[in-house]
A and B are shown apart, each in its own frame.
Chain A
Amino acid sequence: MAGVHDIGGKPGFGAVPVDDDVLFHDDWERRAFAVTQFAQVAAGFNTDAFRHGIEREDPETYRSATYFDKWIRNAERMLVEGGVLAPDAVPAALGGDAPAETPTRTTDARPNEGRGTLRDLDAVPRFSVGDRVTVATEAPSAGHTRLPDYVAGRSGTVALVNGGWVFPDTHAHGQGEQPTWVYAIAFNASDLWPDDGASHVVYVDLFEPYLDAA
């Protein structure tokens, strides 16, 4: 079941808002951008846990809220789950009150270790450029994943071996780095959407646990 954020190739979207070309629409968006990053650090969330926070937004809100509204909602979520703020801290502050609840850390998320997420791996890559591979029909576990639904169960060709990386599916949930190889897999659009009659190629970066030999 694809998450609300997993919209690649999904039908029903209109014209790209080409003229909406700003980085920030308003000053609060600037502050949301920066405050949310500091909130992530204060809450001890790594980038994968940060993304998973956004993905856990109420689906209705995810669809209707603006981009930086989703960020600041995530800031509050991370600070509460990270035990920095009480669950009622923000509503209480808006009412001019002190929170009645106590901050409690309820997440297994861990901070980034300050060295990015690229790793040297002892294991050799399972696949080589030119190999045919098939993507799993669903992510290894419920929760955060970087396996887009539109390539689930589809076959493609390894185009690039793109280094060893921390595995988002475990890292987002405090289950360790479990670093693994990432490959750029080339998919023919005609294999992804056979009825479209399109001839382009889509390259998707996929982690080795998502892949099997075709």
Chain B
Amino acid sequence: MTGDHTHTPDPADPAIRVEAIESLLVEAGLLDSARVDALIERYEHDLGPLNGAHVVARAWTDDEYRARLLEDGTAAIAELGYSGAQGEHMVVVENSSDVHNLVVCTLCSCYPWPVLGLPPSWYKSPEYRARAVREPRAVLQEFGTNIGDDVEVRVWDSSAEIRYLVLPERPVGTEDLTEEQLVPLVSRDSMIGVRLAGASEQR
């Protein structure tokens, strides 16, 4: 590559364009690359589904907290220290033996960042966005999740700025576990609603 000054970068390559735009903003004094690094670090590592798992495990072990969480999700989640962009107004929807909830954003990729971090790629896929509202049971089966015909499926399309978190059912046989022991059973997917908490495949 050295000395190849006639080589023009492929403008169709997004990696090249990201680099060019970052450089232009840095040159213009509008951006410091250390701030880019810090933002990535925050969203990739500081925020994540462990936050949501703490909320769910608390709700499973503390009935008064659970009631507050379902009454005013934003305030109850903030009690545990989680708030901020894309979590300004949280609504928590509860699964039961009669109801299964599932969350999607059909128009873009809205997701509750303070409690779940950034969404996985499949959540942003056109397939999930298009099909979750129309054939949720078929979509759930693709995640290995079978919901009985007698259970009402509720799909929440976050088309405004309200963000939804599913409170999954506490797995059977966990009655003796503490809040701390329950946290690892609360998968990210169980809080989106595509899998059950404590399912054999955990994500």
| Residue positions of A touching B, CB distance < 8 A | 5-10, 13-26, 28, 30-35, 37-39, 42, 51, 54, 63, 65-69, 72-73, 75-76, 79, 84-85, 89-91, 93-96, 116-118, 146-148, 150, 160, 162-163, 165, 168, 182, 184, 189, 192-193, 196, 198-207
* Partner of A93 from B23, B39, B88 at Cβ < 8 Å: B23
B44 within 8 A of A: yes
Contact B18 A72 (CB under 8 A): yes
Contact A20 B121 (CB under 8 A): yes
Contacts of B37 in A (CB 8 A): 34
Min C-beta distance of A190 to chain B, whole Å: 12
Complexed CA–CA distance, A103 and B96 (Å): 56
Contacts of A65 in B (CB 8 A): 14
Contact A198 B135 (CB under 8 A): yes
Contact B127 A66 (CB under 8 A): no
- Chain A residue with the shortest CB-CB distance to B203: A21
Contacts of A184 in B (CB 8 A): 91, 156, 162
| Residue positions of B touching A, CB distance < 8 A | 5, 8-9, 11, 14-25, 28, 30-31, 35-37, 39-40, 43-44, 88-89, 91, 104, 106-109, 117-122, 124-131, 133-137, 139, 142-143, 152-162, 203
Complexed CA–CA distance, A189 and B137 (Å): 12
- Chain B residue with the shortest CB-CB distance to A163: B89
Q: Is the interface of A mostly helix, strand, loop or mixed?
A: mixed
Complexed CA–CA distance, A188 and B162 (Å): 21
Contact B39 A200 (CB under 8 A): no
Contact B17 A72 (CB under 8 A): yes
Complexed CA–CA distance, A24 and B119 (Å): 10
